[in-house]
């Protein structure tokens, strides 16, 4: 994506909720070279931050509710979580958690869009969000998969003021015209039990090598490495516990 720092309205963090934190640390450390550190405070509940060098790049977290799926979640930066939460409800979405303070780090919300895709809000205080984007092992793109693209476009442009660039096959989201993600319509190729969702993409030096590494670490390729016409080389992978995420070749940002 063209953004390289957290900005209001843009993606600022990616967080995995998993039922096997130790296995997730092994898998993503092997795949991305992350260094994982678990917050020792009891009230942090095992929250683990992944680092590349000195930069915070993502988080791994235990599941906090029985109904919570194993999945990657995307957080968007906001200047006022309470105001944005009200806007979500007014625009037809639903707030599930919060707004709530997370220590002195920031203010947090979990919400659903009108199609049922989960996403998060982050109002930064001490913690601004990811310290690195677009480099191998870090977040570089986010993509909404939904069955009602028109409703999703109306919702997200109302709540966040995103700009929209649409081609015949793809819609790009932006902040002030600076692209950070996209949207895909879920057609009949998607089983009906697959819900709308946000999919984070992480940059890698070599997509084919990353897919092979994931396979050796008990992950699977949901979409094998492929080169998008006039776009990046990408793959969609599933970790050993079922969480989906994408990878793309670093330097292919557009």
Q: Of 182, 24, 8, 29, which Cα lies nearest the Cα of 106? A: 8
In terms of Cβ atoms closer than 10 Å to its own Cβ (0-12, 13-18, 19+), residue 187 is exposed
Q: Give the pLDDT of residue 253.
A: 64
CATH of domain 11-124: 3.10.180.10
Q: Which residue has the tokens 């442009």?
A: 157
pTM of the model: 0.94
Q: For residues 81 and 97, what is the distance between their CA atoms, to the nearest angstrom?
A: 11
Per-residue pLDDT of the chain (254 residues; tens, 9 = 90+): 788 888 999 999 999 999 999 999 999 999 999 999 988 887 777 889 999 999 999 999 999 877 889 999 999 999 999 999 999 999 999 999 989 999 999 999 999 999 999 999 999 999 999 999 999 999 999 999 999 999 999 999 999 999 999 887 789 999 998 999 999 999 988 888 899 999 999 999 999 999 999 999 999 999 999 998 878 999 999 999 999 999 999 987 65
* Preceding peptide of 99 cis, ω within 30°: yes
Q: In what order do the strands lie in the sheet with 35-38?
A: 35-38, 48-52, 55-62, 11-18, 71-77, 118-124, 106-112, 94-102
Q: Residue 95 CA to chain centroid, in angstroms?
A: 18
Domain 139-249 class? alpha beta
Domain boundaries, the chain: 11-124, 139-249
pLDDT of residue 67: 80
- In angstroms, the CA 244 to CA 230 distance is 24
pLDDT at 1: 76
Report the pLDDT value the prediction gives residue 254, as an integer from 0 to 100: 58
Confidence (pLDDT) at 231: 81
Dihedral sign of CA atoms 213, 139, 153, 92 in order: positive
User: What pLDDT, on the 0 to 100 scale, is given for residue 251?
Assistant: 82
How far is the C-alpha of 254 from the C-alpha of 206, rounded, in Å?
A: 17
Q: Of 102, 33, 118, whose CA–CA distance to 70 is shortest?
A: 118
Same fold, 11-124 and 139-249: yes
Residues whose CB is less than 8 angstroms from the CB of residue 182 and which lie 6 or more positions away in sequence, other chains included: 141, 143, 144, 170, 171, 172, 173
Say which residue the tokens 């660039």 belong to. Answer: 165
């Amino acid at each position: 994506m063209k953004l390289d720092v957290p900005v209001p309205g843009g993606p600022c963090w990616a967080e995995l909720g998993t039922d096997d934190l130790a296995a997730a640390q092994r898998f993503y450390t092997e795949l991305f070279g992350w260094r994982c550190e678990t917050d020792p405070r009891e009230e942090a509940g095992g929250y683990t931050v992944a680092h590349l060098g000195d930069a915070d790049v993502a988080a791994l977290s235990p599941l906090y509710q029985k109904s919570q799926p194993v999945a990657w979640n995307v957080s968007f930066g906001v200047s006022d979580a309470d105001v944005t939460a009200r806007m979500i409800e007014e625009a037809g979405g639903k707030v599930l958690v919060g707004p709530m303070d997370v220590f002195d780090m920031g203010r947090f919300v979990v919400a659903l869009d009108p199609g049922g895709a989960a996403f998060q809000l982050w109002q930064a205080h001490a913690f601004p969000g990811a310290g690195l984007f677009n480099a191998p092992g870090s977040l570089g793109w986010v993509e909404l998969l939904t069955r009602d693209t028109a409703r999703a476009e109306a919702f997200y442009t109302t709540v966040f003021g995103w700009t929209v660039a649409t081609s015949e096959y793809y819609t790009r989201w932006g902040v002030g015209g600076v692209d950070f993600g996209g949207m895909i319509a879920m057609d009949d190729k998607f089983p009906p039990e697959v819900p709308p969702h946000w999919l984070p993409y992480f940059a890698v030096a070599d997509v084919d090598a990353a897919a092979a590494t994931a396979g050796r670490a008990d992950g699977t390729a949901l979409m094998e490495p492929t080169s998008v016409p006039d776009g990046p080389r990408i793959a969609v992978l599933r970790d050993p516990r079922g969480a989906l995420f994408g990878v793309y070749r670093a330097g292919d940002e557009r």
